[in-house]
Structure 1
Amino acid sequence: MEIDLDGPEPLYEQIADMLSARIAEGTYEPRRRIPSEAALCEEFSVSRPTVRAAVKLLNDRGLTVTVRGKGTFVAEARPESEAGDRANR
């Protein structure tokens, strides 16, 4: 999957969706760091603010946690029953 520079979706959303897919498929494992902002900038050929917006979106979705000075980590996997319970509240 590639970024669609001419598409209607903002670049940061496209990047967040790609990173979300990698988390879902296990490429990035729970409690492990995702690539650095610099690495993501290089991979997607975008600016740092674009990558920061994508990572913020992942944090907002509860998929990652950013630890100042350490990086951004995939959030711990929640048991399915707990995830379902929260969705039903």
Structure 2
Amino acid sequence: MAIDIDGPEPLYEQIAGVIAARIDDGSYQPRRRIPAEAALCEEFEVSRPTVRSAIQLLNQRGLTRTVHGKGTYVAGDVNGLRA
């Protein structure tokens, strides 16, 4: 899924949407790391602050959580509910 650089939605929201879709379809498994910021910057051809904003949005939505020094993980499933 590509992002639309010229579209009306901010890039970080588009990137968060792509990552959220990957979480929903199982590409990124619960309690496992998503790709590092540097890899996401390269994949989407955006700056690190843009990727950080996307991850912050995913954290706020409860889809991921960031562990200092370790990376960002998909939130775990507990009885079918995202933790």
TM over 0.5: yes
Which protein is richer in helix relative to its size? 1
- Please tell me the TM-score bracket, short chain as reference: over 0.9
How many residues are paired up? 82
What CA RMSD, in Å, does the superposition of the two structures yield over aligned residues?
1.2
Bigger Rg over Cα:
1
Q: Distance in 2 between the 1:53 and 1:9 partners?
A: 13
**Consecutive unaligned residues in structure 2, runs of 5 or more:** none
- Matches of residues 1-89 of structure 1 in structure 2 within 5 Å? 1-80=1-80
After TM superposition, the score normalised by the length of structure 2 is 0.94
- TM-score under structure 1 length normalisation: 0.88
The sequence identity of aligned pairs, in percent, is 68
Runs of at least 5 residues in structure 1 that lack an aligned partner in the other structure: 84-89
Runs of 4+ in structure 1 displaced over 2 angstroms? none
Matched letter for residue 57 of structure 1: L
Q: In the aligned structure 1, how far is the partner of 2:78 from the partner of 2:49?
A: 30
